[in-house]
Amino acid sequence: MRKCELFIDGSSRGNPGEAGCGFIIYCEGKKIIERSIYLGIKTNNEAEYHGLLEALKAAKEAECEDIIIYSDSELLVNHINGVYRVRASNLKPLRDEALNLLKNFKSWQVIHISRDKNFETDLLAKNVSKEGKNGKN
């Protein structure tokens, strides 16, 4: 069983504005993937969702089976966990895609963490939204 932790974040300079997302995947305590992706013009919430989607795709490629996802976006965490309804029409397809991707894993959890515990991933997302180009692969 390959257990992985995914730290995700999204950033938008303006809302909407130049946006990026970042994620880090740890497997058994070792960092295996760190990536930042420029998204163009997006809202903050769209950027957060893209961070989740890209991390889930990378986790599948890395053959992660059991995942715990950490995000500082209370909205995203509560959407995925079914606590909040998705009201924004631009977020519904992103939430649906995320739920579909989650079916690739034996088990999953999405946990809200404070921004200070997501500092490294936050920096990835903010830097790529400023620079306008993808980061580490």
Flag whether 79 is in a domain.
yes
- Mean pLDDT over the full length of the chain: 95
- Domain at 38, CATH number: 3.30.420.10
Flag whether 137 is in a domain.
no
Is the pTM here over 0.85, yes or no? yes
Burial 3-32 (b: 16+ CB within 10 A, else e): ebbbbbbbbbbeebebbbbbbbbbbeeeee
Flag whether 136 is in a domain.
no
Tell me: the pLDDT tens digits for 98-116?
Answer: 999 999 999 999 999 999 9
